[in-house]
Amino acid sequence: MAKTGFGNHSDKIKKTKITMIIGYALIIVVSTILISVLSLGKTSDIMEEKVKDMTSALNVQLKLNIDNYLSKLETTGTLIFATPEVYKYDAVNPTVDEYEALNTESLISDKLMELCVMENYVDFAIVYSNNHSVGKLSNGTASLFGNELYSSLEKIITRRRTSDGWATGCYDDYKRIYYVKRVNDNTVFVASFYTTELKNVFELPETMNDMAVRLVNKENNIIYSSVQDETGSLLPSDISDTILDHTSATVIDDNHLITVDRCADDWRVISSIPRAIILEEMNDIKSSTVAIAFAAAIIGILLGVFLSIKVTNPMDSLVSDLDSKARIDTLTGVNNKRYFEESVEKSLSEQNRNNIGILFILDIDDFKGVNDTLGHGYGDKVLSGIGDILKTTFRSSDLLGRIGGDEFAVFMTISEHEKENCLSIVKMRCEALCKAFRKNYTGKDNSYKISSSIGVAVAYKEQKDFSELYRCADEALYASKHKGKDTYTIYGGDLQEAGDKYEN
Amino acid sequence: MKIKKAAALSVAAALLFSSCQTESIITTNNEQIEISFSWWGNDARNEYTIKAIQEFERLNPDIKVHCIYSEWSGFQIRNNVQMASHTEADVMQINYAWIEQYSPDGMGYYDINELSSFVDLTNFSENEINFGMKNGRLNALPIALNTQTVYVNKTLYDEYGLSVPKSWDDIFKAAEAMNGEHYPLTMNNKATLFSLVAYAEQQSGHEFIKSDGTLGFTSEDFKTMLEFYSELINKKVMPQTEYFERIRLDNGEYAGTVAWLSDASSYMGGAVKAGNEVVIADYLKNDSAVELGWYTKPATMYAISANTDYPAESARLLDFLLNSEEMADFQGVEKGIPLSKSARAYLEQTGKLTGLQYDAFLKMNEFSDKMTIISPYMENTDILEHVQQSCNSVYYGKTTSDEEAKILMENISDVLKNAQS
């Protein structure tokens, strides 16, 4: 089947337009996905870095807080040495007068009270090697150590240079944190505070509630934890296995972001955030990014469609115009010979075998005489008018064409169920044509008269191509001419029948 | 042209978008009002109070409470410093005597009547409220009533075939029976002061400090006190107060003690835990006594700072401490049997009005008609120190009891004068 060149171009332009839109959409979507993935990856890295930096900075601050808190107690404790009686007095010496001893102890007690009066210290006392104490020694501490008070406290002293040390978890009791400093060979100073006091030291900003803060000793026993009921237990293995013996580090593994800093007495402050919490925030960012990318893709596609239409529409219009010019006979407004033939050929090839194709050929009788008599201008006018007559006489679905200088053709298709009426339809059209000619081209004074001869051929059941159908119609046309013109003839078969010559 | 317009619009939109990004972003944090709360007490009190405060903060997320605490020793100095420097806590556990000391005109503490929309005062009787009234202003509310109580380790007494003592003579007999193996009645310095005063009052019938704040004791009364102290030590009824160690009640070295009703658990809890039967003895007096000589007082009280910036929040904490079921649950009868009706009702419902503390409360009620309300000056630390020094001076023979009684009388007179000036 042959196609018209312009028809092909128009289709191609449509296809190109669709391809452009799809291509554009694909480029936009792929680019957006690519950019989103890359930016999300980058954002994820940056965010992890930022959280890492922030956690690390916060942990250092917490380390400074605890160092300051412990250092304050150490400094307060050191002030006992400002009173010589404190370190010179030997409570174990049997030669010391008992009354004098009581007065000295009273003085020491006053001094101790003076130093700790504004603090929430549980113990602030001097303990002698005979377990006698002066100052504030809580019942809890006395009960905890019992008769081993002095010897137990002595063991807390681990720092050689300053002869002091920190401890908690004595007899598995983590309620208090002890500081012990040697005063002289038979005397130690002890101070303690409740572990719960560290809540203020390790207070986190409201926005960091998901972070767990722990203070652990060298054995990884938890001295303080922001997680309830953890104090006294071992550091969870998933954290201890990650941070190992690091004393200042930040680690990110599959489960946690952990930062660790060493503080006084080789204890470590460990802050950790479950990675899932960070990822949760990342997921929020991802969702937002995907939503923005989706919106951007939609906007991009719409913009692409708009631009494609903007670019292809003028071309489409131009092609359509050219196509129309190539298809339509400009004088008569009906299809030209080539397009008509191609269209009929196509119609015949695609035609349902049960449909009936009918070709009318129409030839102006003695048209040369019209040109000669009335001039070419009038001849053109007549031809133009014939186009109008054909359009009026036939259906809009029928194919009209000018196939010669004064020769026209019409191809119509009727369905099988109209088969019975086929002859009457053909006759009705032919007679309407003849009548229209007579009406339009008979002068008032009968000074001229233009008529047409019509040949009709029918394609039914048996396959016919255009040339064969045309030949049949032409033969019928010849018969009309031969019969004296201004009449119609239907070619052959059961349907063939000669029309009568019209007479008014 | 259209495309140019569209491009211009796009640029404008982009600029608008970017300008939106640079706008200040303000995120408001939950602002908390921070108030402070001070108290004194032993480990057990500190622990449950800290937990109770955490519960209060949970129930009142708009309030953060800064805790200030220590054992009694030293707390009074701390309170002095804070009151004098106007840095006292917003809500304070105070001693009954401090109303007279810090608020002689009633202006030293906040008038809680003004905060009655936050504090349910209907939980207290008029008499109970009157403990805290000063010059028409409600300066403080009492937590419970308190008195020095005689606790006896009956298991140990039984071992020596001794019955629960009722008089000083019984105590000396017990010391004789125990023969230095155990002390039958030990005391810290404050319990010693109250016991010496009780003994002296029982002898003479004189009031230690009169209701107008002047001294009621004569030098003879002080002499009685000083000699009685030496007798208690010499006859091994008790160790010197400086050597008193509460822990020795746990292991049975001490067979008894005089301590506040509110201290029942912290003093005798260990002995009970060790399987000993501890009972509340009668308030000690010999048959010849002309007075009972023992005092009662509001155990401790809660007051609000006159200078607080947050009276409403402080009042909410005060109400929680006195009247809430949560605090009643944490506190139990540690400070004595609560005077607050709602707190007491909760303890009754939950079956917590039992144990040594409750027995001590019942004993106090039994003797309440013979007991005197304590003078606010009696707990002045300077009086305590002077008595202790004089006791030691006589005990170690540095001065005679006659000489020292005069010195002591002079010193205490000065303290009382200074306190009222």
ipTM: 0.73
Beta bridge partners of B70: B40
Question: Which pLDDT band holds residue B209 (cuts at 50, 70, 90)?
Answer: very high
Q: Determine the Cα–Cα distance for residues B41 and A194; give it in Å rounded to an integer.
A: 13
**B4 pLDDT more than 70:** no
The alpha-carbon gap from A151 to the nearest alpha carbon of chain B, in Å, equals 18
All residues at 6 or more sequence positions from B136 whose CB lies less than 8 Å from its CB, including other chains: B106
List residues of B whose CB lies inside 8 A of any A CB. Answer: 2-3, 29-30, 42-43, 46-47, 50, 66-71, 73-74, 77-78, 81, 240, 242-243, 245-247, 250, 266, 270, 392, 396, 398
The per-residue pLDDT for range A336-351, each reduced to its tens digit, is 988 899 888 888 887 7
Question: Which pLDDT band holds residue A355 (cuts at 50, 70, 90)?
Answer: confident
Q: Which residue of B has its CA nearest to A98?
A: B396
Domains recognised in chain A with CATH numbers: 1-326 (no CATH), 337-498 (3.30.70.270)
The per-residue pLDDT for range A80-101, each reduced to its tens digit, is 999 888 888 988 888 888 888 8
Q: Which residue of B has its CA nearest to A136?
A: B73
Q: Determine the Cα–Cα distance for residues B357 and B353; give it in Å rounded to an integer.
A: 8
- Is A139 in Cβ contact with B42 (below 8 Å)? yes
Q: Which one of A100, A118, A193 would you mutate to disrupt binding with B, by most B Cβ within 10 Å of its Cβ? A: A118
Q: Determine the Cα–Cα distance for residues B65 and B61; give it in Å rounded to an integer.
A: 10
Task: Region of A5 please: left (phi>0), alpha (psi -120 to 50) or beta.
Answer: alpha
Closest residue to B247, CB basis, from A98, A113, A143: A143
Alpha-carbon distances, residue A145 vs A153, B226, B317 (angstroms): 9, 35, 36
The per-residue pLDDT for range B65-94, each reduced to its tens digit, is 999 998 887 788 889 899 999 999 999 999
For A177, the enclosing helix (H) or strand (E) is strand A173-184
Share of chain B above pLDDT 70, in %: 93
Instruction: Specify the residue for token string 């008499």.
Output: B127
Q: Which residue of A has its CA nearest to B31?
A: A206
Q: Which residue of A has its CA nearest to B241?
A: A102
Share of chain A above pLDDT 70, in %: 93
Residues of B in contact with A146 (CB under 8 A): 247
- Is A143 in Cβ contact with B70 (below 8 Å)? no
CA-based nearest residue to A13, from A401, A260, A321: A321
Q: Determine the Cα–Cα distance for residues A32 and B37; give it in Å rounded to an integer.
A: 59
Average pLDDT score over residue span A312-330? 77
- Is B68 in Cβ contact with A194 (below 8 Å)? no
Average pLDDT score over residue span A198-213? 85
The per-residue pLDDT for range A145-185, each reduced to its tens digit, is 988 999 999 999 999 989 999 999 999 999 999 999 999 99
The per-residue pLDDT for range A15-30, each reduced to its tens digit, is 777 777 777 778 877 8
Q: Determine the Cα–Cα distance for residues B26 and B41; give it in Å rounded to an integer.
A: 44
Closest residue to B46, CB basis, from A99, A119, A194: A194
**pLDDT for res A2:** 38
Share of chain A above pLDDT 90, in %: 31
**pLDDT for res B107:** 96
**pLDDT for res A501:** 34
Domain(s) of CATH 3.40.190.10: residues in chain B: 33-144+299-339, 147-296+369-420
Q: Which one of A102, A176, A194 would you mutate to disrupt binding with B, by most B Cβ within 10 Å of its Cβ? A: A102
* Fold of the domain built from segment(s) B147-296+369-420: D-Maltodextrin-Binding Protein; domain 2 (3.40.190)
Q: Which one of B25, B30, B40, B46 would you mutate to disrupt binding with A, by most A Cβ within 10 Å of its Cβ? A: B46
The alpha-carbon gap from A276 to the nearest alpha carbon of chain B, in Å, equals 24
C-beta of residue B32 within 8 angstroms of C-beta of residue B61: yes
**B34 pLDDT more than 50:** yes
Q: How far is CA B144 from the centre of its chain?
A: 10
The domain B33-144+299-339 is placed in CATH, from the list 3.90.1150.10, 3.40.190.80, 3.40.190.10, 3.90.1480.20, at 3.40.190.10
pTM for this prediction: 0.67
**pLDDT for res B232:** 98
Size of interface A-B (CB pairs under 8 A): 65
Q: Most confidently modeled of A212-221, B120-129, B223-232?
A: B223-232
Q: How many Å from the N-terminal Cα to the C-terminal Cα in chain A?
A: 45
The alpha-carbon gap from B326 to the nearest alpha carbon of chain A, in Å, equals 20
CA-based nearest residue to B152, from B27, B268, B310, B326: B268
List residues of A whose CB lies inside 8 A of any B CB. Answer: 98-99, 102, 105-106, 113-114, 116-122, 132, 136, 138-140, 142-143, 146, 175, 194, 196, 200, 206-207, 310
Residues of A in contact with B47 (CB under 8 A): 175, 194
- Give phi and psi for A401, each to the nearest 5: -155, 150
The alpha-carbon gap from B227 to the nearest alpha carbon of chain A, in Å, equals 17
